[in-house]
Amino acid sequence: MNATAVRKPVHLAVYDTFADWETGHTTAHLARAGHEIRTVGPSTAPVTSIGGLRVRPDLALDDVRPEDSSLLILPGADLWDTSGDLAPFARTARAFLAAGVPVAAICGATAGLAREGLLDDRTHTSAVSFYLAATGYAGGERYVEADAVTDRGLVTAGPTEPVAFAREVLRLLGVYEGEVLDAWYRLFHDSDATAYAVLEKAGAL
């Protein structure tokens, strides 16, 4: 990525019961690379994560526009499967993708996108295939068993793959590439000490 280019913020969706562990690697390493992270809630009222963290969103969802963003991140949450409260976030994801702005969804958020029809014609993954099949979506033939998948600007991953999810986002936004990205993944996913040398040489630590 051109270091002199003006970066638009990365928008992280936050809502009650959001899975706080799923996007930590992603946002931490984006922030360390100079990306501004802005939180987006249903409103600007505080929300509480599944781990009990209280977050006051920077923006309400109605105030977020694709042209002002470089990425929308949707974490999992109990609410994706227990109510329709988060459907507006899936509709916003549709608007982002239609505008050519990438979206990254993990865990329950993939089910929300499935219900919105956004996985019908994209290769994708999630927790397990039958989890998404229960949504009644039409994209079952495009499901793959993988740690994380990127297809036409949409990243998907299951709840046990926060590092692979981050890897795909870091690749998508050009934070790390090639050998450096591989070393980053080996360090944080596999605790591979040999990756340190590659990352130190690249100034990526």
Q: Which of 73, 103, 107, 127 is catalytic?
A: 107
Confirm whether 107 is a catalytic residue.
yes
Q: Measure Cα distances from 118 to 90, 140, 151, 196 in Å.
A: 9, 12, 11, 38
β-sheet bridge partners, residue 105: 74, 156
Q: Position of tokens 């993990």?
A: 106
Q: Position of tokens 């920077």?
A: 58
Which of these, 65, 64, 30, lies nearest to 44 by C-alpha position? 64
Active site residue ranges: 107
